[in-house]
Structure 1
């Protein structure tokens, strides 16, 4: 079959996934609740932000910018281009998509098998600890670049941690330096209500 070269915009749409959702190494704990006690402290949130920053800083230059996105896209393209031709065929795209779907199904099955008290189990509809809201910082578009406080086109570790702590403080409703399962559930419910209000609002 003749190879089909994927143009830049189409390839970006295909490969772009949340950079902040990069999978941790096997055996590495996920989510900010490091000791899995159901409570997230400021220290845990800061430590999780540092780990996440390290994963997103793909070229390890101490900042997150367009170069990281480009490097990550190039790596994913290389992984998809299984025959090393420099082009991605429809068959290679299909194989990559099916592999992602299989991994996603496997993760969902593993979550379903975990009991409510086990590490990584869902708590109130979100995976334990992961619902801290860092997901909203994924990728180099939209919310992620709002962390760029000095608007220089790059996000430093200090800016990344500041964003994580700002979100932490919003969820820490009683300001005791800890986010409980109840506070996470309340934050999710508030977010759900905001989405419902947006959907119900008349479109101009």
Structure 2
């Protein structure tokens, strides 16, 4: 029994080393597991995402608080044209964006729907910072 236990304990270490070796070679870099996100879960994160961008904590997002690659997209959410985006404007625009990407209207955004809508491509294509 003792002879069988030692090889079994070594197996996870061998598997981990093999996975790390593949990642180091770049084989797993582009892998993204398929995921589904329902509309309610998406909506529940909007406040946190908004407040993360509101650097001065005044309840609105202004151009100066955004990274250069986000300015046009976020400022387009300024529905009343006052020069800054309030939480309500941000939430409404993001939910409209979700609904447009949800092609089968099941209130769940699949990986395929996200990819078809181009979600995430801006973040991978640019690495500029504020």
Q: Does residue 177 of structure 1 match 2:110?
A: no
Between the aligned partners of 2:58 and 2:93, the Cα distance in structure 1 is: 20
Q: Match of 1:147?
A: 77
More contact order relative to length (CA 8 Å, sep ≥ 6): 1
Between the aligned partners of 1:39 and 1:49, the Cα distance in structure 2 is: 17
| SS at structure 2 position matched to 1:40 | strand
- Of 21, 46, 49, the residue aligned with 2:46 is 49
Computing the radius of gyration over CA atoms, which structure comes out larger, 1 or 2?
2
- TM-score, normalisation: structure 2: 0.57
Decide whether the 8 Å contact of 1:45 with 1:164 is kept in 2. no
The number of residue pairs the alignment matches comes to 87
- TM-score, normalisation: structure 1: 0.38
Between the aligned partners of 1:37 and 1:186, the Cα distance in structure 2 is: 13
| SS at structure 1 position matched to 2:76 | helix
Q: Which runs of 4+ in 1 moved over 6 A?
A: none
| SS at structure 2 position matched to 1:147 | coil
| SS at structure 2 position matched to 1:160 | helix
| Runs (5+) with no aligned partner, structure 1 | 1-35, 74-137, 192-204
